[in-house]
Every structure is written in structure tokens, then in C-alpha cells.
Amino acid sequence: MRKVIKYTILSFICILVFTLAVSAADQTYHIYDNEGLFTSEEEQTLSIVIKEIETEYKLDVVILTESSGYDYKYTATRFYERNGFSKNGLILFVSLNSRTYYIGTYGETDKIFNSSSLDDIEDELKTDMGAGKYALAAAHFLANSKSTLQSRAKVVDGQLVVDGQLVKKTTFGEVLIQVLIITAISLALAGLVLSVFVKKMNNARPQKTAANYVTDFDLAVSRDLYLYSTVSRVPRQTSKSSGGRSGGGYSHGGRGGRF
């Protein structure tokens, strides 16, 4: 009986460990090699580094290879946003078919990875991928990314700190307060503009005699009351449209090109 219980527990533990391992591989390692650029051993090695970065800096790191990559920025950004990754994260996109790449920075990582750090990553990427060494390119991407994070960011009390500034997650209450404040300021400004406009329009004043402003003809009663008003014309404002960077619910930046 004891042996039966023992083997039952052992079997349960094995199933549980296997399930957790599969779940961790799917949700944590974030390698999507759809073009088959990496061997299974290379994926395992890259996954270890990705897991270390994600655990230490509380962000997502994704490596994606696709055959359709002519619009590499759109392809990488759409994949990152539609798959529910963290708003703080990185993605390396590579397409062998179109020979394009893209380094995407999302959320606070867009502040961490400045032009200089992206230059360093990009230089090694193009060199490695141009020589057909895709696993080495991915390894250099991860190594350079970790080096940049070590020098420009850290985690304090479970929150990402960038250049000494604490990055807080904005709550719904904080967003609501910000909206109410902006609305109140807008209404106050609108009221002020309206009051000035009404004051300028309400400028009629009674004149004691017509002689104050009539010189070319006579009036029968010179002490009639008249309204003297000034009409000012204000040019109509036309609306202008301005373009800007947008990315659904994610703020993002990055760098990409051909190799």
C-alpha cells in the first residue's frame, strides 16, 4: 500500500514538474523562431539569458524571426502588442527572407536604450547576421541589452528605476484624477475666454447728443439717445492635423534596417 502511495505521489510530482516546465518555457523564454534560424541547443542557451534579464529587470525580452518582414517595424510592433507582453520590454525581429531586422523598445526601455546603446547593438547585429551567424547575433543582442540595463537601470522594491527616477505603474485612480484636473483647467480657460469675448461684444454706450458723432446731416431732436458700438472682426481659426508616434496601448521606439 505504501509503495502504491509512494509511486502515486512520485508520478504526480513528475507530471507537475513537467507541466510547470512547459508553462515556463512558453511564457518566459519568449523565443519565436518561425524561420528556423536557431538549433534547439542555441534556443536553450538564449532562453537562459532571456530568463535572467526578465527576472532581474521585470520586463519582457522577445526574439522573433519571420519570413515576411518588409515592413519590419509594423510586424515586430504588432506581434509584441497583440501577444500581451509587458509594457516595458524589448524585441529583436529578424527576417532572413527580406534580410531585415528591427530592435523594438517599449515603455521605459525606450528611455533606457538611447541612440548610443542602439548603435552598439546594431553594429554587431549587422556584422553577425551579414555573416549568417544568427544565434551569435541574438547572443550579442542579449549581452548588449543586459549591459545597457546594468548601466542605466535597476529594480527597487519590485519597480524599474531608470537613471535614478522611479518608474511607477499608473493606476486607474491616478488616470481619473489627471483627466479631472485637465477637464477643470480646460473649463476654466474656456470660461475666461468667453467672459472676455462677451465683455468686448457688450460695448454699447448711450450718447447724450447726436452731435458727438454726426456731422453731415441734421436731426430734429438733438438730445435723442443713440447707441454707439464698435464691431471688431476676428479671423476664423482653421484646424491643423499633426502626426505623431502611436502604438496602441504601448509607447515605443527602436531601430531597424537591412543587413
**pLDDT tens digits for 102-125?**
999 999 899 899 999 999 999 999
Please state which of the four CATH numbers 3.30.750.210, 3.10.310.50, 3.40.190.10, 1.10.260.40 is assigned to the domain occupying 2-165.
Answer: 3.10.310.50
Distance CA 122, CA 251 (A): 21
Highest mean pLDDT range out of 88-92, 96-100, 200-204, 255-259?
88-92
pTM: 0.58
Write the single-letter amino acid at 176: L
Greatest C-alpha distance within the chain: 127
Please name the residues in contact with 63: beta carbons below 8 A apart, sequence gap of 6 or more: 30, 31, 32, 33, 46, 50, 91, 92, 94, 138, 141
Return phi, psi of residue 207, to 5°. -110, 140
Contacts of 122 (CB under 8 A, 6+ apart): 103, 255, 257
Confidence band for 251, pLDDT divided at 50, 70 and 90: confident
pLDDT digits (tens, 9 = 90+) for 59-75: 999 999 998 767 899 99
Q: Provide the pLDDT for residue 113.
A: 93
The domain ranges of the chain are: 2-165, 172-228
Q: Is the pLDDT at 3 greater than 60, yes or no?
A: no
Nearest to 64 by CA among 176, 141, 163: 141
Q: Which region holds residue 20: left if phi is over 0, alpha if psi is between -120 and 50, else beta?
A: alpha
Spatial contact of 109 and 250, defined as CB atoms under 8 Å apart: no
pLDDT of residue 171: 59
Q: What is the pLDDT of residue 215?
A: 52
